[in-house]
Amino acid sequence: MGANLIRLRAVLTAHHLTHGVRELAIFVWLGAVLAVAALAGVSWAAGFGAVAHLLVSPAWSWLGIAVAAEVVAYVGYIAAYREVARVERGPRLRIPHAAALVASGFGVFIPRGGFAADFEALELAGCERRDAQSRVLGLGALEWAALAPAACAAAIVLLVRGSRIGDGMTLPWAIAVPLGFAAALVALRWRGRIGSAWWKQPVAHGLEALSVLRRLGSGRHGVGALAGMTLYYAAEIFALWACLRIFAGHAPSIPAVLIGYATGYALTRRSLPLAGAGAVEALMPFALLWVNVPLAQAVLAVLFYRVVNLWIPLIPALAGLHTVRRRHGDEMLRRSAEELLSG
């Protein structure tokens, strides 16, 4: 038993480029099981009959539109990724290389999440360890810098319109986002006084992410990075909207869908283990329910949204993994051997 636990821990913490076909298949299978189990549970809550009834006459043409939107989303993320990597004389990633890193980082086969893969990839691309960590933290901060203001604006629109959506969904976004940005600016001024105690490390990491975001904004790469990330989220939210349109029979409220999307991703997809398989399927339908989308519609919309943004992209994710492994595999194996010898 102990040996099996040690082996499991070794597999989970190992560099994703070292995983063989068997490990990749296990992680994909685990992601599928988690996703199916979550959707089955939410379908039970919605009522299997209500869910099945919506499958009688869906508008399937919107599914193709959702797929096209997802392609646009990847284009936006690749653009943002390259700009974050290049800030302050960082590595200049060619588009095919950046596309491979982005696609593989969204794969369901990475148990530690795409940001862990990004950190290792940037380190292999020539960044110092601390610099690679800073860029990954900055990429995460950039995601929220693009999404949070949009959610704040959507919440304000809904409040002004007198929407029937509960204040518990709108007021936090309308109030907390401006306060959060103000607090972040103040905290940056005190960054140098953060010590090295273990409990201060999450605060220090957060401030490091904000610092990278500030440096990105003051440089020539900032506009491209923010534009790319904004395009990514606009296309992602439109893909979810299109999947709702398949079963709703009418155009859902865009501000409401935006709030539901932002709430459903308590953590961004790239930061979640296994690309959020199971977690997103469990939370997103209820987030949409809280913005007045019927739960039966929400569960089917999330099902097809995840087909579009997780399972269909598994093919380019595996191709991207092959490309990254071919480019960096030898260097990664050399470093792993050196770490084992030094340990």
Residue pLDDT, tens place only, 195-212: 554 445 555 656 666 666
Which tokens is 96 given?
């095919």
pLDDT of residue 221: 67
Using CA atoms in the order 229, 235, 239, 240, what is the torsion angle rounded to 10 degrees?
50
Contact 110, 28 (CB under 8 A): no
pTM above 0.85, yes or no: yes
Taking CA 189 as the corner, what is the angle to CA 187 and CA 190, rounded to the nearest 5 degrees? 65
Mean of the per-residue pLDDT values of the chain: 83
pLDDT of residue 217: 62
Least Cα distance to 56 among 306, 296, 285 occurs for 296
pLDDT at 97 > cutoff 60: yes
Percent of the chain with pLDDT over 90: 48
Length of the chain: 343
> What confidence tier does 337 reach under pLDDT thresholds 50, 70, 90?
very low
